[in-house]
Amino acid sequence: MGLLIMMGIFAFGVIIGVPVAFALGIGAVSAFYFEGLPLIIAFQRIISGINVFSLLAIPFFIFAGELMFHGGIAVRLVRLASSAVGAIRGGLGVVNVFASMLFGGISGSAVADVSALGSILIPVMKEKGYDEDYAVNVTVTSSIAGIMIPPSHNMILYAVATGGGVSITQLFLSGIIPGVVMCICLALVAYLVAVKRGYKSEVFPGYYALFLHFVTALPGLFTAVIIVGGVLSGIFTVTESGAFGTLYAFLVTIFVYRALTWKNFKIAVVNSVKTTSMVMILVASASAFGYMLTFYQVPSQMITFMNGISSNPIIILLMINIMLLILGMIMDMAALILICTPIFLPLAISLGMDPLQFGMILMMNLGLGLCTPPVGACLFVGCAIGKVPIERVVKTIWPFYFAIFSALMLTTFIPAISLTLPNLIGS
């Protein structure tokens, strides 16, 4: 009964428009009260949820992404991508995917990717004769690279949700190949759709221009080297690398590119504070909510339920993917990471799956949810930038959904895609 009360209050809150963080907190406290547990335990769980050192890296990653957006790094990455792959048929679509790999691998945020690259590429693609829906489709779906390719603050949330049993460094390594595979699938679909619609290719600027764009973009690209390389080499912790990476991005945008104005700096600070506040409140509430899920033995009940339907691991994995896809369509990604991890991770482990591989499956599933209605944040941002109705975009975005789903299936059933780099480098 207590579980029904908690889930019912949470669902009702989400339906009537209560912020997810508050709906989680109210539902969890209600369950504590119903079971007669001391409310002081609920508040201890809330506080302990954010009393985690590795969470300090999140505001640094978010602030670094904002600085790079407003400080000119994104523009230079787009120029590099355009000079490298723009000569392909329908090349700006492939450029969009390639630029998302570069920028997403630095900012670590899908929404930041759509905001930064969409503001640059969508207007350019429209000027070059690309349809509005195509430009938005490519921009929105390729933004998931920011979740998969390190650094990613969502991976830190997953590590926290596992109870600290998963190394953030190994998670970063696990995301590289799945992220690249997904981007290759998206680039292939972008090319095929471009050929079908008869889009033209750009003129190759020459190797000298490519070299110049690379040199210009190199200071910005080096941000990823500091953040990811510092962690993988053991020189920095994740939090320290985030701090040094943010400082470096700040210095590059001011002294190298000289593109960060005082006005844009204030905007970057305000946006970072807002985003960080939302994430931390969500983590705190989800900690108490997750405690009650464990109290009600939801993970073990889920294992029993799934095994009752089928004992075939392939069927169970498909069911997990379907459930995560559906949940990703109707809820915020950060909340789902914190809620679904304690529920589905034990089930995945019982099937012999490594927690690192499950983390990548979770990221890609929920990342796809950011691109789907009714609550896909990336979809809304992309449509707003492209000034295209969501209904029109959804009608033509299906090939790109299929590309992400194909990468998801490969990641699900080929463990080596997620585990090769952690085994080679992280061992």
Average pLDDT of adjacent 10-residue blocks, the chain of 427 residues? 83 80 85 84 80 76 79 77 73 80 67 74 79 89 85 84 83 90 92 86 77 85 77 77 85 85 87 81 81 77 76 87 84 81 88 92 90 78 83 88 94 93 77
142 within 8 A of 183, measured Cβ to Cβ: yes
In this predicted structure, what is the pLDDT of residue 104?
A: 66
Helix (H, G, I), strand (E, B), or coil: what is residue 55? helix
In this predicted structure, what is the pLDDT of residue 426?
A: 57
Residues written for the chain: 427
In this predicted structure, what is the pLDDT of residue 400?
A: 94
Q: What is the pTM of this model?
A: 0.82
Q: Six-digit token pair at 268?
A: 């970057």
148 within 8 A of 171, measured Cβ to Cβ: no
Domains held by the chain: number: 1
In this predicted structure, what is the pLDDT of residue 106?
A: 61
In this predicted structure, what is the pLDDT of residue 375?
A: 67
What are the angstrom distances between the C-alpha of 87 and each of 91, 92, 93, 131, 182?
A: 6, 8, 11, 18, 21
238 within 8 A of 57, measured Cβ to Cβ: yes
In this predicted structure, what is the pLDDT of residue 413?
A: 92
Measure the CA–CA gap between 330 and 294, rounded to whole angstroms. 23
420 within 8 A of 176, measured Cβ to Cβ: no
What are the angstrom distances between the C-alpha of 124 and each of 64, 129, 152, 261, 424?
A: 25, 9, 28, 24, 41
94 within 8 A of 138, measured Cβ to Cβ: no
Q: Which of 397, 399, 412, 400 is nearest to 365 (CA)?
A: 412
What are the angstrom distances between the C-alpha of 415 and each of 100, 404, 418?
A: 25, 17, 6
- 145: exposed, middle or buried (Cβ count in 10 Å: 0-12, 13-18, 19+): buried
**Domain range enclosing 157:** 2-425
